[in-house]
Chain A
């Protein structure tokens, strides 16, 4: 059975339709890529999955996450779902971390909540789990960085902390909304590799959002291409990215290829 099912999802404000008639599924442990230019509705779709749409936007259609209907669910039901089924890593790690809280305490928050659910949330257990997570995300020099504030560490280190916070929930689905866009190229590659390793090791399903075709091709098994709030093409990553059928996808792929060629100095 699918972990996430989205059926004929439509998102609209009072006067505009932002996302229309979107359907896709993600199986447990599967890595799914959502591609599309800026403003095509990728982030809104991911927010709809977690039930966190801005108030002005009304969803219709059907979203089932880990057996729970998300659209129309009570805030209480959603709270429980969010803690255990899904976590998100955002594009800009500086704004995704509380500027006034040391990094260690930020990771400890979700850890403590999870341990409380299973009964054993002693300070020592929380600290041990935080250290395990910082090892997992390969945060350098954790002694020092866990006491630091977000503005005191590098962008890559911040994103590692954000990933650790997401993992702390032991989610079944991890949503990564352009997790590398704000980082430099070397750091991008490191973070992508890290995410891939982690979801593979832990068997976590991944919803990976990006407009970078190269990265999506590296990460996702299946992809969906969006434009102006609609799906234009979907299928296995290899097929969509090498032999696109839709004109828009083809232009994206061609543009990406030209960009790569230009980088490598080919005519």
Chain B
């Protein structure tokens, strides 16, 4: 046991698949700022054309290029996912850690609030946020999704934090006079990060998919923004005559969600010294 293994983490091909999938989506999202095959609302082709050299992913009911929409959709998916996870993560982690440290009454109260909010449909929260801001926009959708997922992050953070706080090394740190701030930053956050990271990746996927539902209700990004969720929804009437219109955004969504989860797994293995050698 005394042999110290300082070896580099073994790279796992499955994790590379994750980095690859996310990398491709990021690449398309970034390129879409500078270049797309056509303009978003350019009705450049015939209606419902299958994939061809002129339209790599075919066209929609109005003859707009689907590959262009897919690229813009990649950008929107990333913005929605990152934004929602950032907002929900910050609110959730702060309240979760506070709950774990709070007096018993406050802790029970916060735990109950988390549970009630989790039972509250995200869509309902989203509608309330939209109503409060009096307009549907991408920003409103992100804010709504972030608020919607914050109680899930809060609940998990609270439980993970309590588990870490019950460990001897926390007691040892407290006996030696370590303040709460240092305990949170040096001991609690690093030790909950591996689990929390995987959960946040999951939330990222859920947020991207929930944005599709919001768009469906007209609460997401307004047209002509093409989120993958809206592409799916617009293609649902023509799924038998032009299946690629639904298939491609569906696949893209699937690839991004899978990719993010594999990536989170990979990052956890890379940064958790206990998993590194195993």
Closest to B179 in A: A79
The verdict on B176 contacting chain A, using a C-beta distance below 8 Å, is: yes
Of A125-133, A161-169, A217-225, which binds chain B?
A161-169
Q: Report Cα–Cα, A61/B130, bound state, in Å.
A: 58
Count of chain A to chain B residue pairs whose CB atoms are closer than 8 Å in the complex: 94
A87 close to B (CB within 8 Å): yes
B104 beta carbon closer than 8 Å to chain A:
yes
Q: Is B131 an interface residue (CB 8 A)?
A: no
Contact assessment for B176 and A166 in the assembled complex, using a CB-CB cutoff below 8 Å: yes
- Say which one of B71-79, B164-172, B197-205 lies at the interface with A: B164-172
The contact size tier of chain B is 20 to 34
With contacts A98-B187, A99-B191, A99-B274 taken as known, whether A154 is within 8 angstroms of B2 at the C-beta atoms is yes
Q: Across the interface, which residues of B come within 8 angstroms of A90, CB to CB?
A: 168, 171-172
Label chain B's interface by main secondary structure: helix
Which residues in B have their C-beta under 8 angstroms from that of A166? 172, 176
Cα–Cα, bound, A157→B200 (Å)? 36
Is B176 touching A100 in the complex (CB atoms < 8 A)?
A: no
B177 an interface residue at 8 Å Cβ cutoff? yes
User: Which positions 78-106 of chain A face chain B at CB distance < 8 Å?
Assistant: 79-84, 86-88, 90, 92, 95-101
Interface range for A:
35 or more
Interface residue stretch chosen among A34-42, A143-151, A205-213, A239-247 = A143-151
Query: Counting CB contacts under 8 A, is B119 at the interface?
Result: no
Let me know if B272 and A83 touch, CB within 8 A: no
Is A153 at the interface (CB under 8 A from chain B)? yes
Give every chain A residue within 8 A of B171 (Cβ-Cβ): 47, 52, 88, 90
Chain B residue with Cβ nearest A110:
B176
Which of B1, B172, B186 has a CB less than 8 Å from the CB of A88?
Answer: B172
Identify the B interface with A (CB < 8 A).
Answer: 1-2, 4-6, 104, 167-169, 171-179, 182, 186-187, 190-191, 272-274
A-B contact pairs, 23 of them (CB 8 A): A50-B174, A55-B104, A79-B179, A82-B175, A83-B176, A83-B177, A86-B175, A87-B175, A96-B168, A96-B172, A97-B169, A98-B191, A100-B190, A100-B272, A109-B182, A113-B176, A113-B177, A147-B4, A148-B4, A152-B273, A154-B1, A162-B172, A165-B176
